[in-house]
Amino acid sequence: MAAKRPVPVPPGEFVRIDGTALHVVREGTGPVLIATSGLAGAWFDWDPVVPLLTPHCTVVRFDRPGLGFSQPDPRPPTLAREADRIAGLADALALPGPYVLLAHSLGAFHVEGFARMYPERTAGLVLVDPSNEEKPRPRPARRARVRAARIGGGAMRVSGLAHAIGPAARRSILFTQSRRHRDIADTRWVRGAYGSGRFFATALTENTTYFDVAAELVELRRDAPLPDVPLRVLAAAGGYESLAARARWVRALRTLANLSPQGRCEVLDDSAHYVMLDRPDAVSDAVREVLSD
């Protein structure tokens, strides 16, 4: 029987937040930027951007529970829970605030929730091709959906398929959602994060609760104003959707940017959804602009 390959030790540290050990990577000096990835993402999604930012700020990246190298959380994600998690992480690391929040895709729900729940701790927002739902409705039977997602993920782990399929699933996603058509992340971290048994259960759970979290954000928007801080939205208009679909997407993200008096939307015709891979310079420029405002 072949020896089991040891799991590599990732860079950074582990911080326990509300009972769950989160993997965190902190680099640079200066004002604090907290970055979170999209659905089923990991800290290394931001690798092309970080070297452009560390001369100007402290970049703090973390893996949400069950993703990357973080421990799973037995509780399903909610908007308030994810916003509180960011606040708890900042407290545990004794990060001086207020913070600029950087998020991709689904992570935009979480950082907007943080900004509305913790306005005094928010210095600005940079949303990278963010998820956006104008009139979301939570789907029925949330508990049963989450249970089914976790059973499905567990089956992938027990069968060994997670190890075989996970990294390939990431390559497939990046091939269709990035104009680079390839992954530039370190293969050790990709195998450790996407080949783990926890990945599929978490990815399926985030996916099945997507509209629930989106609906929580719409409700929060009615009750808690967005602080008057710089907001930059990067809209990817260079993907592989139809021209009509791209135009609708850009209109929606321009509307999102208008939630703040200091909001602005930049349209990137040469980038697909993974803007941090296709246009890391645009992400860096947006962050530096917010930092200087």
Average pLDDT over residues 51-79: 96
What pLDDT digit, counting tens, does each position of 192-204 carry?
888 877 888 899 9
Across the chain, mean pLDDT equals: 92
Instruction: Specify the pLDDT at position 165.
Output: 82
Instruction: Specify the pLDDT at position 3.
Output: 46
Quick one: CA torsion of 219, 222, 227, 232, rounded to 10 degrees? 60
Cα(178)–Cα(275) distance, integer angstroms: 7
Average pLDDT over residues 220-225: 96
Domain 13-149+210-292 has CATH 3.40.50.1820: yes
pLDDT interval class at 2 (50, 70, 90) = very low
Q: Is the pLDDT of residue 240 over 60?
A: yes
Give the DSSP letter of residue 43.
Answer: G
Residue whose token pair is 């091709």: 129
C-alpha distance from residue 99 to each of 28, 59, 62, 95 (Å): 14, 10, 15, 9
Full DSSP string of 94-126: T--SSEEEEEETTHHHHHHHHHHH-GGGEEEEE
Average pLDDT over residues 226-255: 94
Please report, for the chain, the start and end positions of each structural domain, with discontinuous segments joined by +: 13-149+210-292
Task: Write down the pTM of the prediction.
Answer: 0.94
Q: Is the pLDDT of residue 1 over 50?
A: no
Q: Is 80 in contact with 216 (CB distance < 8 Å)?
A: yes
Q: Is the pLDDT of residue 123 over 90?
A: yes
Cα(222)–Cα(225) distance, integer angstroms: 7
C-alpha distance from residue 198 to each of 67, 157, 260 (Å): 7, 7, 37
Average pLDDT over residues 52-56: 97
Instruction: Specify the pLDDT at position 6.
Output: 63
The 3-state DSSP class for residue 273 equals coil
pLDDT interval class at 47 (50, 70, 90) = very high
Query: Which residues are CB-neighbours of 278 under 8 A, at least 6 positions away?
Result: 178, 179, 180, 236, 238, 268, 270, 271, 272
Q: Is the pLDDT of residue 19 over 60?
A: yes
